Amino acid sequence: MDSREVAAVLAYTGRLDPRTIRTGTGEARDQIAQWQELLNDVPFATNHGWDIREAIRAHVLDSPYPILPVDVARRWRAHRRDRLDRHTDPIPAADPDDPAAWRAELLRARNAVAAGVAAPSTHRQITGEGSPRDIEERLRAIGSCIPPAVRAELTRYRPAHAAREAAVARGVPDALGVRCEWCHAPAGTPCRQRRASPDGTAKGNAVRATPHPSRIDLAAAS
């Protein structure tokens, strides 16, 4: 607190407990100097739960004795300790291979919490702000969540999808984008083999790796 804040604090204290009021000019100046000396590192208020007026009010309500600067300092230290107890170091954004930067970031975070500038981080930040940057960059490079090698491996098990991807990659119209008039496969679904048995009933329903030619033509026309 600067001397103006200390003066405001003393005025507030005097309203709650007139015994603390110093009337002489010299006395009042000495009182401000003494309070400022002892409360130099105590903030007037923080955005995270500390307000010196609350501490003064609590003292006046709790204690029969006139408040001393050390009473305020003690409350601030208790507040600070309580915040640090609740704080769990978040994982620094610094490169873990740079221990100096890593440590400096941890210390900065703790000091900010202690000074009341930042709120304690009570949980490990699992979700943070989206995925780490290098994963996003890699995803952009690959264009898919499935790595190319795995994707190639999968083509054996999903020939229709693989054919569709290959078609899109070649710039050929996407046949699966339209409904197949031949086998009635809806859009997005691979064609199916329709084999009729001699008596006219459907026999077999296997997925075709390639769309029916009429479907390809239809996609090309649309």
Binding site for Zn ion (CB under 5 A): 180, 182-183, 185, 191, 212
Q: What's the closest the beta carbon of residue 211 comes to Zn ion, in angstroms?
A: 6
Q: What's the closest the beta carbon of residue 197 comes to Zn ion, in angstroms?
A: 19
Judged by beta carbon, residue 113 or residue 183, the one nearer Zn ion is 183
Cβ atoms 44, 1 nearer than 8 A: yes
Joined together, the tokens standing for residue 220 give 């090309």
Q: What's the closest the beta carbon of residue 95 comes to Zn ion, in angstroms?
A: 54
Judged by beta carbon, residue 60 or residue 180, the one nearer Zn ion is 180
Residue tagged 């405001």 (tokens): 8
Judged by beta carbon, residue 60 or residue 183, the one nearer Zn ion is 183
Q: What's the closest the beta carbon of residue 146 comes to Zn ion, in angstroms?
A: 26
Judged by beta carbon, residue 160 or residue 180, the one nearer Zn ion is 180
